[in-house]
C-alpha cells in the first residue's frame, strides 16, 4: 500500500531527524512578523564560528543516520563565515504568534483548512513542506483517500470561499505557465516529525528549544550536550508522547502522524501539550474510518 506520510529512519526517542541552528538574528528585511525578531545588525552574543563548529561535531554524538542540519536566521548570508545551499521545495511557514508575530495576524481555523487543501492541489506543481502546519499531514491522508473513493473533497472537507478562490487562481495560473511535477516527484509526502520529536532548534546563543517557534528552553549547549538535552529532559520526552497531549490531539486517530503544532498550543495557552488551536478536525469524524485505519497503520510503520 502507498504511504502518505514518511517515517524518519531513526528512532526519534534517541536521535533527532532535523537540527536547526539559528546562526544570526541579522537580516536586512526586518519583517514585522519575524519569529526571530530580526534586526539589521548582528548579535554580539551569537555562537562564534568555532562554537558552531563544536556544535556540529557534537551532533555526530546522535549517531547514524546523522541528523539533517539546517542553518537559519535571520539571514545566514549575513554571516560571511557561513554559506548555505539552495533547495527546490516551497517551505510554507504558518504564523506562530511569537517574536514579532501577533495573534491578530493569524488566519482562522476554517481558513487554515482551506489553505491546506489548496496546498495539496498545489503540490501537483511544486514540492510542499509546511512548518507549524502539522495537520497538513492529516489533510494529505484524507484527500488521498477521498481521491481513491472518487468523493468530492469540497463537501467532505467542508471547504469554503478561501479554498474556492485559491483553487480558481491556481487553475488559471496552471493553464498559463505551470507544469506538473514528474510522477516520481508529485506530492512528496510529508515527514513525520514535530517539535522535540525528530526536531531540535539551537538559538544563536546556544539555547536548546524543541522548535524555533516554541520558546521554552531545555538547556544550553555551552554547558550541556545537545544529545543529552534532546534525549533526557522532561520537556523533550513529553513532546514525544502524543497520547498525553490534551484535548482533541490526545485522542485523535492522527496523533502519531500529526500531533498538531505544539508551538501554536503554547502560544495560545502557555502549555505546549494542549490541543492545536487551528485544526478543525473532530477525532473519529472522517467517514472512511476502516480505510483510514489501514492507511495510518501502513504510514506508521517505518
Ligand atoms: S486534532 Fe490534533 S492530532 Fe488530530 S488532526 Fe488535528 S491537529 Fe492533528
Atom of ligand 1 nearest to the CA of 280: 6
Give the pLDDT confidence score for residue 10 in this predicted structure.
81
Distance CA 51, CA 232 (A): 23
Give the mean pLDDT of the chain: 85
- SS3 annotation, the chain: CCCCCECCCCCCCCCCCEEEEECCCECCCCCCCCCCCCECCCCCCCCCHHHHHHHHHHHHHHCCCCCEEEEECCCHHHCCCCCCCCCCCEEEECCCCCCCCCHHHCCCHHHHHHHHHHHHHHCCCCCEEEECCCCHHHHHHHHHHHHHCCCCHHHHCCCCHHHHHHHHHHHHHHHHHCCCCCCCCCCCCCECCECCECEEEECCCCEEECECCECCCCCECCCCCHHHHHHHCHHHHHHCCHHHCCHHHHHCCCCCCCCCCHHHHHHHHCCCCCCCCCCCCCCCCCCCHHHHHHHHHHHHCC
Q: What does the pLDDT average to over 52-78?
A: 81
pLDDT digits (tens, 9 = 90+) for 182-215: 655 555 567 788 999 999 999 989 999 999 999 9
Q: Whose CA is nearest to atom 2 of ligand 1?
A: 249
Between the CA of 286 and the centroid of ligand 1 the distance, in Å, is 12
Using most ligand atoms within 8 A of CB, pick from 195, 252, 286, 289 the residue to mutate for ligand 1: 252
Q: What percentage of the chain has pLDDT greater than the value 70?
A: 86
Q: Given a cut of 60, is residue 128 above it in pLDDT?
A: yes
Give the pLDDT confidence score for residue 89 in this predicted structure.
59
pLDDT digits (tens, 9 = 90+) for 217-245: 999 999 999 999 999 999 999 999 999 99
Atom of ligand 1 nearest to the CA of 249: 2
Atom of ligand 1 nearest to the CA of 278: 7
Give the pLDDT confidence score for residue 251 in this predicted structure.
96
Q: Given a cut of 60, is residue 137 above it in pLDDT?
A: yes
Between the CA of 275 and the centroid of ligand 1 the distance, in Å, is 8
Residues with CB under 6 A from ligand 1: 135, 138, 248-249, 252, 254-255, 258-260, 275-276, 279, 281
Q: Any idea which of 10-14, 264-268, 288-292 has the lowest mean pLDDT? A: 10-14
Q: What does the pLDDT average to over 131-147?
A: 92
Q: Whose CA is nearest to atom 7 of ligand 1?
A: 260
Q: What does the pLDDT average to over 67-88?
A: 66
Between the CA of 41 and the centroid of ligand 1 the distance, in Å, is 39
pTM: 0.75
Between the CA of 242 and the centroid of ligand 1 the distance, in Å, is 10
Q: Which residue has the higher pLDDT, 173 or 103?
A: 173
Q: Whose CA is nearest to atom 1 of ligand 1?
A: 249
Atom of ligand 1 nearest to the CA of 275: 2
Give the pLDDT confidence score for residue 302 in this predicted structure.
42
What values do phi and psi take at 115, rounded to 5? -65, -40
Amino acid at each position: 500500500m502507498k504511504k502518505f506520510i514518511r517515517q524518519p529512519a531513526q528512532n526519534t526517542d534517541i536521535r533527532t531527524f532535523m537540527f536547526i541552528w539559528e546562526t544570526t538574528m541579522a537580516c536586512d528585511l526586518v519583517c514585522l512578523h519575524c519569529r526571530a525578531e530580526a534586526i539589521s545588525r548582528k548579535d554580539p552574543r551569537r555562537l562564534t564560528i568555532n562554537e558552531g563548529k563544536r556544535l556540529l561535531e557534537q551532533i555526530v554524538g546522535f549517531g547514524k543516520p546523522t541528523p539533517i542540519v539546517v542553518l537559519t536566521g535571520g539571514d545566514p548570508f549575513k554571516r560571511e563565515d557561513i554559506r548555505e545551499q539552495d533547495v527546490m521545495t516551497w517551505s510554507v511557514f504558518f504564523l506562530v504568534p511569537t517574536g514579532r508575530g501577533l495573534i491578530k495576524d493569524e488566519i482562522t481555523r476554517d481558513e487554515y483548512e482551506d489553505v491546506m487543501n489548496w496546498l495539496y492541489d498545489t503540490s501537483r506543481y511544486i514540492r510542499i513542506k509546511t512548518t507549524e502546519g502539522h495537520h497538513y499531514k492529516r489533510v494529505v491522508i484524507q484527500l488521498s483517500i477521498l481521491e481513491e473513493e472518487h468523493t468530492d473533497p469540497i463537501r467532505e472537507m467542508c471547504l469554503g470561499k478561501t479554498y474556492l478562490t485559491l483553487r480558481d487562481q491556481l487553475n488559471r495560473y496552471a493553464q498559463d505557465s505551470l507544469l506538473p511535477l514528474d510522477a516520481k516527484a508529485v506530492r512528496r509526502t510529508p515527514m513525520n516529525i514535530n517539535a522535540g520529536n525528530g526536531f531540535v532548534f539551537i538559538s544563536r546563543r546556544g539555547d536548546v528549544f524543541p522548535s524555533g517557534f516554541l520558546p521554552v528552553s531545555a538547556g544550553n549547549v555551552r554547558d550541556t550536550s545537545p544529545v543529552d538535552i534532546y534525549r533526557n529532559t522532561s520537556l523533550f520526552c513529553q513532546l514525544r508522547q502524543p497520547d498525553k497531549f490534551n484535548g482533541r490531539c490526545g485522542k485523535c486517530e492522527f496523533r502519531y502522524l500529526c500531533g498538531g503544532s505544539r508551538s501554536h498550543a503554547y502560544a495560545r495557552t502557555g502549555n505546549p501539550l494542549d490541543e492545536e488551536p487551528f485544526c478543525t478536525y473532530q477525532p473519529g469524524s472522517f467517514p472512511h474510518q476502516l480505510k483510514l485505519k489501514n492507511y495510518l497503520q501502513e504510514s506508521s510503520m517505518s
